[in-house]
Amino acid sequence: MTHRVERVMIDRTQIQEMVDRLAAEINRDYEGQEIVVVGILKGSFIFMADLVRKLTVQTTIDFMSVSSYYGGTKTSGIVKIVKDLDVNINGKNVLIVEDIVDSGLTLLNLKDLLRTKDPASLRVCVAFDKPDRRKTEISADYVGMSIPDEFIVGYGLDYSGRYRNLPDVCILDPDGGKK
């Protein structure tokens, strides 16, 4: 099945305003401190790059790659570490950067896992939040935008590895334009 972009949900100007606001909040909250920013691959890489360039606090950057789908289309919620941290986060302020939170299961398990590494603090920054899809009591400390339950692509978000490079966040036409 071929999908096509149906429409732009969030344009690049709105995205940049969101990044500016989040960076200002993070800079304020961590003023005079150091943080380790942990991007969750692959979806967060564009958002994280934009965000860290706006941070004025001392920042170390690392990445993790996790999987919770195991070949299906629905999350299992169980985190499989594909790429672990290279940086020791013991005693450090850690900021997880995610592209999107929907069910919350993966994020809950990821936070539990990182807490075992004894960070001084552990917070989460997400570009997009789908609260209507939540299956657990978890929330991000920094939320770019709450969005409705639509399948979105662009700005790092993908469908089968495609569309990450779109500069806007778009909704895919589930019928592939065959209406």
Catalytic residue numbers read 102
Beta bridge partners of 169: 10
* 110 touches 128 (CB < 8 A): no
Residue 125 and residue 132: Cα distance in Å, rounded? 18
CB atoms within 10 A of CB 33: 12
* 47 touches 53 (CB < 8 A): no
Beta bridge partners of 160: none
- Tell me the torsion sign for CA atoms 76, 81, 82, 83: positive
Exposed, middle or buried, 121 (CB in 10 Å: 0-12/13-18/19+)? middle
Which tokens hold the place of 3? 């999908």
